[in-house]
């Protein structure tokens, strides 16, 4: 039976525009094998639009993509537009208005992609589950006495029982489908209100999921362990800030920021979820046709999982492993000489 999905494409800035065409080409190829077709709508929301029109996206932008099945995003951010403007003008409204409260970042050491961490063997994999809509990244706070000698800034963290509980339940349920271990990132020795609250809710989640083992680590010790002994982890769950830092660290442990994917999930499926590579717009290599498309392609594979096609998603990941493990073809960030296009063609041939 043929299934059709409507996908909102937001290429964004820089190499974002170079890595989405490979991702859609892969989707079309694997879709054809599984009776899935994709209908894409393109949205030119980016920093250039901001410079011309004063906004990253139109005022009714979210309404334009609300009814799509999923969103595939390249990267946003460009020199000349402050990063907090591009982030809060596009990515954060999508994540929050569409209640994408899970940021899911799988980490996998691919064959033929050396990790800078000696103990990270090919095949090593774990996943970081980051709370994505509250926590430390809040709008609550302000600046006082701007420009005076006693100038000050206050930034509040917001941790709610429902918000923390649902991300923990997601992490525990995910662990139950994997190796059954949750590691909670905390800092309840230094942060004395929100983090003890987080720890209490972790213990409650542990009671609700008695078959899953869990432990907690202070974030400072945890980052050291991710580097020293990454194989001990299965699911790491953290607040918005801790999860953000952990997931970039983990992507680096896997050997390249150009490969790492992310899903911003609305598990209730009331709104579309958004899939995007972890990397940014890479102004230093943009326009040269040399960007590694794997982050975007793996993100598209996560989208296939989310849309109910795990077999198709697994085929894409298998093709990635195949190309990296069995051919010398790779982009410059992985020590190769292939262009984005050449690499994509090699990958497409192996699906």
The single residue listed with the structure tokens 């990958």 is: 347
When binding is defined by CB under 6 A, the residue of 85, 158, 227, 257 that contacts ligand NAI is 257
When binding is defined by CB under 6 A, the residue of 4, 41, 63, 83 that contacts ligand NAI is 83
Contact status, residue 251 vs residue 197, Cβ threshold 8 Å: no
Contact set for Mg ion, span 228-257 (CB under 5 A) = 244, 248
* Using rule CB under 6 A, residue 280 touches ligand NAI: yes
Reported as half-sphere exposure (CB side, CA atoms, 13 A), residue 282 has a value of 22
When binding is defined by CB under 6 A, the residue of 75, 104, 168, 226 that contacts ligand NAI is 75
Residue number with CB closer to Mg ion (24 or 292) = 292
Give the shortest CB-247-to-Mg ion separation in angstroms. Answer: 7
Residues 60 and 10: their CA atoms lie apart, in Å, by 15
Give the one entry of ligand NAI, Mg ion, none that residue 244 binds, where binding means its C-beta sits below a cut-off of 5 to 8 angstroms depending on kind.
Mg ion
Give the one entry of Mg ion, ligand NAI, none that residue 83 binds, where binding means its C-beta sits below a cut-off of 5 to 8 angstroms depending on kind.
ligand NAI
Query: 48 Cβ partners below 8 Å, 6+ apart?
Result: 13, 78
Residue number with CB closer to Mg ion (248 or 341) = 248
Residue number with CB closer to ligand NAI (291 or 304) = 291
Dihedral (Cα; 112, 116, 122, 125), 10-degree rounding: -130
Give the shortest CB-252-to-ligand NAI separation in angstroms. Answer: 10
Query: Distances in Å between the alpha carbon of 309 and those of 88, 125, 210, 304?
Result: 32, 21, 29, 5
Query: 57 Cβ partners below 8 Å, 6+ apart?
Result: 43, 45, 49, 89, 90, 93
Residue number with CB closer to Mg ion (104 or 205) = 104
Residues 119 and 100: their CA atoms lie apart, in Å, by 33
Largest CA distance in the chain: 69
* Using rule CB under 6 A, residue 121 touches ligand NAI: no
* Using rule CB under 6 A, residue 281 touches ligand NAI: yes
Category of 219 on φ-ψ map: left (φ > 0), alpha (ψ -120 to 50) or beta: alpha
Contact window for ligand NAI (CB under 6 A) among 72-80, 116-124, 131-139, 305-313: 72-80
Give the shortest CB-82-to-ligand NAI separation in angstroms. Answer: 9
Which 3 state secondary structure label does DSSP give 38? strand
Which residue ranges make up the site for ligand NAI (CB under 6 A)? 15, 19, 75-78, 83, 257-258, 276, 279-285, 291-292, 295, 331, 333
Which residue ranges make up the site for Mg ion (CB under 5 A)? 244, 248
């Amino acid at each position: 039976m043929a299934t059709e999905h409507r996908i909102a494409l937001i290429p964004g800035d820089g190499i974002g525009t170079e890595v989405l065409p490979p991702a859609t080409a892969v989707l079309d190829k694997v879709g054809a094998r599984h009776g899935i077709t994709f209908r894409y709508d393109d949205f030119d929301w980016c920093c250039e639009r901001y410079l011309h029109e004063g906004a990253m996206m139109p005022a009714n932008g979210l309404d334009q993509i609300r009814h799509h099945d999923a969103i595939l995003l390249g990267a946003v951010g460009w020199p000349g537009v402050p990063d907090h403007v591009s982030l809060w003008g596009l990515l954060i409204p999508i994540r929050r208005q569409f209640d994408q409260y899970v940021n899911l970042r799988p980490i996998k050491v691919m064959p033929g992609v050396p990790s800078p961490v000696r103990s990270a063997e090919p095949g090593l994999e774990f996943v970081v589950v980051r709370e994505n809509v509250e926590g430390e990244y809040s709008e609550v706070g302000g600046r006082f006495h701007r420009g005076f000698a006693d100038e000050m800034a206050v930034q509040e963290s917001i941790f709610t029982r429902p918000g923390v509980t649902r991300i923990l339940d997601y992490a525990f349920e995910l662990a139950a489908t994997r190796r059954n271990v949750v590691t909670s990132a905390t800092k309840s020795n230094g942060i004395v209100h929100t983090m003890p609250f987080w720890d209490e809710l972790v213990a409650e989640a542990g009671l609700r999921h008695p078959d899953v083992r869990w432990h907690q680590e202070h974030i400072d010790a945890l980052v050291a362990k991710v580097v020293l002994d990454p194989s001990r982890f299965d699911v790491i769950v953290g607040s918005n800030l801790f999860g953000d830092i952990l997931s970039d660290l983990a992507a680096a442990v896997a050997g390249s920021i150009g490969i790492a994917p992310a899903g911003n999930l609305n598990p209730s499926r009331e709104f579309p979820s958004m899939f995007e590579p972890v990397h940014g717009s890479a102004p230093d290599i943009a326009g040269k046709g040399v960007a590694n498309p794997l982050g975007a392609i793996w993100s598209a594979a996560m989208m296939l999982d989310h849309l109910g096609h795990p077999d198709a998603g697994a085929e894409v990941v298998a093709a990635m492993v195949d190309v990296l493990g069995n051919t010398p073809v790779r982009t410059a960030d992985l020590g190769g000489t292939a262009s984005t296009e050449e690499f994509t063609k090699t990958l497409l041939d192996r699906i």
